[in-house]
Amino acid sequence: MTCNNEETIHKLNAGDEQTFDTVYKQYYRGLCAFASQYVSEYEEIVQDVMMWLWENRILLNPEMSLKSLLFTMVKNRCLNNITHNQIKQQVREKLYDKFKDQFEDPDFYVEGELIALVTKAIRELPEDYREAFELNRFHHLTYNEIAERTGVSSKTIAYRICQSLKILRTELKDYMPLLLFLT
């Protein structure tokens, strides 16, 4: 990167996409390597931080270190992810203990009714969102691999998957305790 930190932030504040792409390329690998020490979902976290950076670029202070900001944000999101997963595991255990008899009763699932509801909700996602979501969650492709396959940027893929998750959370909110247990 040819400009210093202050110039970079000023250009980001002004909405310079080329500067953002340069920042993205400069920090992406390092942030992924750093985040991978904490969590397995490191690409999603880094993509999320980069999306935040672009969406909140006008709030950036030219006197702050962009590098420190990005690494601190990634670390905090990783730690939040770890905490979230621990809480999720505790909820699963409590739900399992509470509903153990029902979970072990095959009639509880009423012929795959829950799976059918999830499948229907995924099928009803906008086509671009559904494709990105399925390639990531079911075929285990990275954002970059999906981007190459679909011909759009990895930032677009990150956005589509993020939106898919928001839609699915809303559509399946009544079934979340069961979905938490089953995932």
Digit-coded pLDDT (tens) for 21-78: 999 999 999 999 999 999 988 999 999 999 999 999 999 999 999 999 999 999 999 9
**Other C-beta atoms lying within 10 Å of the C-beta of residue 15:** 11
What pTM value is reported for the model? 0.53
**Is residue 111 scored above 80 in pLDDT?**
no
Q: Count CA within 13 A, CB hemisphere, residue 44.
A: 18
Write the class of the CATH domain 105-183: mainly alpha
Domain ranges of the chain: 1-87, 105-183
Q: Do 105-183 and 1-87 have the same topology in CATH?
A: no
The answer on pLDDT for 183 being more than 50 is: no
Q: Is the pLDDT of residue 108 over 70?
A: no
Long-range CB pairs of 28-37 (<8 Å, 24+ gap) are: 31/70, 31/71, 31/74, 34/71, 34/74, 34/75, 35/74, 35/75, 35/77, 35/78
Topology of domain 1-87, per CATH?
A: Rna Polymerase Sigma Factor; Chain: A (1.10.1740)
